[in-house]
Chains A and B, each alone.
Chain A
Amino acid sequence: MIRLSPFNVVSLTLGFAFLYIPMVILVIYSFNASKLVTVWAGFSTQWYGELLRNEAFLDAAWVTLRVAIVSSTIATVLGTMAAYTLVRGGKFFGRTLFSGMVYAPLVMPEVITGLSLLLLFIGIGLDRGILTIVLAHTTFSMCFVSVVVSSRLVTFDRSLEEAALDLGASPFEAFRFVTLPIIAPAVISGWLLAFTLSLDDLVIASFTSGPSATTLPMKIWSSVRLGVSPEINALSTILIGLVTIGVISASLATKRATLRQKLDAQVAARPT
């Protein structure tokens, strides 16, 4: 294997330092005893305690979690259906319009999506709250799910499905026992993507929510506009920790799955 040249080592080191130092500082200073976030005054976990006693943050976190779970689940179902239609649908009336509507939200500025949905909700007289945020999040994240799932469906070997049908499976059974297990990793990553997009969204939620529902990013936003606060550092640390655990365990799981597949393939290839 080629060894990395000094130039490559330097660019990787600097690049990753740039990506990670801000987050590391955030994590370290969440344990700072001082209210002044840039002066170190000893180790303390008091900000975590205050965060857990802050009802407004807890309420917002609960709203965000509910919105994310519901919207990403609906988005996964709709996005998978849309991917099926795009890859397998053949020709149908308005196909170009449909694929345009699936891809456009991916590049649409959030301010425009948020504004247009808000004007719709006001136009039809729908009270803004959790329901409207769920509708908005479902709409843009189903498009992301659809892109992830259709990239898997394109490489899918259709003869497997046909074989199942020939052997007497109903179309639903063929989908349930053949297609779904094969596209499952894409469906799961689509769901995870939709879930994080929803957890993360500030702009669209600000437009589509009403006074009855405040999400965590909205709460964070209103407090960081006033400057750096140690409580937000503590909250960020918790979120960064959860994401790190999630991503690492997901990548370990995929690694194990590919290893098992390789082993299976070796076993199958062994002459009997």
Chain B
Amino acid sequence: MGQLERKRGGAPVAMRRLTLITVPYLWLLALFLIPFAIVFKISLSDIALAIPPYTPTMEDGLWALLSQLDFENFVFLTEDDLYWKAYLSSLQIALISTVLTLLVGYPMAYAMARAPEEWRPTLMMLVILPFWTSFLIRVYAWVGILSSEGFLNQFLLWLGIVDTPLKILNTNTAVYVGIVYTYLPFMILPIYAALDRLDGSLIEAAEDLGCSRLEAFWLVTIPLSKNGIIAGCFLVFIPALGEFVIPSLLGGSGTLMIGKVLFEEFFANRDWPVASAVAVILLLILIVPIVLFQRNEQRQAKAEK
């Protein structure tokens, strides 16, 4: 068999299979897994006035290296209020924004699934189009809208709803708006996919059996689109937790988010060991929602079979 393969295609099948596996495998090992090992190692090191700015380094020898590693940075993170507050406030901001995104996204996904068949591709495209547009630009667009002399305040003043401009930019409210705006497509698409598959006759049956429209929606539509809702919420919550651009551009000095703290710890304070420790903890926090998300996806895949 091996000889036959060689005659037909050059390299034997086993060789080809090995290359196919090895190349992406080694790439990811070298540029994904090893970098994490380095982050973990540096999180156990101490800050030093040197290049690179931490100690011990590999040059000190393996034994010195291992014996000098400790959990000091992690202890430091628990002692300093800033970090605890940053983790908690990231969780809070991500959670609130996820709920808000769901409240905006669900009615849109529902209406899309109810729209005439020939409109749907266009509506889909309208949802996806912002996703292809630069993330940075979409966040930036809100700076001009939310600032005190921005469009929203001008509009509200013109309507006479407020007398003095509201301070929205550089507050947590602006961060919520930014997250809902940029992650809305991630919420709409899985919910739409779930609602699109939903058999309309089930709702008719519920209504025939005496349910009001609202009851039918609550008792039939919502439970049947549950998987889409869960998927959408995780797709918003997980990236929102580590978000850096939105809190830096729209949030204020009072907006504490861990992505921003990490960035500043690294670039402004040049404290690499603490920045690495912050990253390790963030990763540990993220594992919970990621595992839950994976389970939801697997259950869904199994249910479809």
Contacts and interface: CB of A to CB of B under 8 A. Distances in A.
Contacts of B184: 15, 18-19
A26 B115 CA distance: 29
Contacts of A107: 238-239, 286, 290, 293
B13 interface: yes
A196 B143 contact: no
B85 interface: no
Interface string A88-122: 01001010011001101101011110011101101
Contacts of A243: 129, 132-134
B279 A112 contact: yes
Contact of A112 (B28, B121, B129, B283): B283
B125 A29 contact: no
A139 B24 CA distance: 9
Contacts of B9: 170-173
Contacts of A227: 143
B110 A11 contact: yes
A89 B21 contact: yes
Contacts of B279: 111-112, 115-116
A9 B8 CA distance: 61
A22 B245 CA distance: 17
Interface in B186-244: 238-239, 241-244
Given A139-B27, A170-B8, A228 B137 contact: no
Nearest to A123: B38
A25 interface: yes
Contact of B147 (A25, A228, A246): A228
Interface string A160-201: 000000001011110000000000000000000000100110
Interface stretch (B61-69, B72-80, B149-157): B149-157
Interface stretch (A41-49, A50-58, A76-84, A263-271): A76-84
Query: Is the interface on chain B under 10, 10 to 19, 20 to 34, or 35 or more residues?
Result: 35 or more
Contacts, number: 233
Contact of A220 (B136, B262, B276): B136
A2 B31 contact: no
B166 interface: no
A40 to B, nearest CB: 11
B181 A19 contact: yes
A139 B245 contact: no
Nearest to B52: A122
Question: DSSP majority for the A interface?
Answer: helix
A109 B31 contact: no
Contacts of A29: 144
Interface of B: 5, 8-10, 13, 16-17, 20-21, 23-25, 27-29, 31-36, 38-39, 42, 52, 58, 104-105, 107-108, 110-112, 114-117, 121, 123, 125-130, 132-138, 140-145, 147, 149-151, 154, 181, 184, 238-239, 241-245, 248-249, 259, 262-263, 266, 272, 275-276, 279, 282-283, 286, 290, 293
Interface of A: 1-2, 4-5, 7-9, 11-12, 15-16, 18-20, 22-23, 25-26, 29, 37-38, 78-79, 81-82, 84-85, 89, 92, 94, 97-98, 101-102, 104-105, 107, 109-112, 115-117, 119-120, 122-123, 135-136, 138-139, 142, 146, 168, 170-173, 196, 199-200, 202-203, 207, 217, 220-221, 224-225, 227-228, 232, 236, 239-240, 243-244, 246-248, 251, 255
Given A15-B108, A22-B141, A109-B286, 18 more contacts: A8-B111, A11-B108, A11-B111, A18-B181, A29-B144, A38-B144, A82-B24, A92-B21, A98-B25, A109-B259, A111-B244, A115-B39, A139-B27, A224-B143, A227-B143, A228-B140, A236-B134, A236-B140
5 contacts: A8-B114, A12-B123, A85-B24, A120-B38, A244-B129
Which A-B residue pairs are the 3 nearest by beta carbons? Answer: A109-B242, A116-B35, A8-B111
